[in-house]
Amino acid sequence: MTRSVRRDVAALLQATRQHAFLATVDGDQPSCRVVAPFVDDDLNIWIVTFRESRKVVQIEQNPRICLSFLEIPGYTREANVYGQAVIVAAAGEKQRIWTIAEDNLRRYFPEGPDSENFCLLRVRVDRVEWRQGPISQFQVYRPRHRAAQ
């Protein structure tokens, strides 16, 4: 698929990020919760969370995840992202995401991105299934992974 398709998918995720749900695996049971991921135009996805959260423990045990995005109200656009979550330790990446979202994050992490409890997850996207309307068929996007991922 073309770069423009990746940007279209990224735009859909950006527009619906406030209504996103992260599913992890807890043993043999799926576990789902609301998140607000950050998505850039190149379909890089980050989630900020507490280091001691259950989702981080679950990801350490099994990094396979699903992120579901939904347009509310209307329910006309949706996407499911399948991939793996990786815990990001790099201070530079943490600072970069903090700079993008500081207004939203400061109330949870008053010490900033250097806080011991500040945890950044990066989603390595394997596949995205999305649709642009309530009766449209799901389309599938599979990114080519760069060596740095």
Sorted by where each starts, the structural domains of the chain and their CATH numbers stand as 3-141 (2.30.110.10)
Residues 147, 67: Cα–Cα separation, whole Å: 23
Q: List the pLDDT tens digit at each of the 149 positions of the chain.
A: 467 888 889 999 999 888 899 999 999 999 999 999 999 888 999 999 999 999 999 999 999 999 999 988 777 789 999 999 999 999 999 999 999 888 889 999 999 999 999 999 999 999 999 988 777 788 899 987 654 44
Residue 30 sits at φ, ψ, to 5 deg, of -65, 150
CA distances from 34 to 8, 23, 87, 99, 142 (A): 23, 9, 18, 22, 24
Q: What is the pTM of this model?
A: 0.88
Determine whether 72 is exposed, middle or buried from the number of CB atoms within 10 Å of its CB (0-12, 13-18, 19+): exposed
Distance of CA 2 to the CA centre of its chain: 21
Distance of CA 122 to the CA centre of its chain: 7
Residues 53, 122: Cα–Cα separation, whole Å: 16
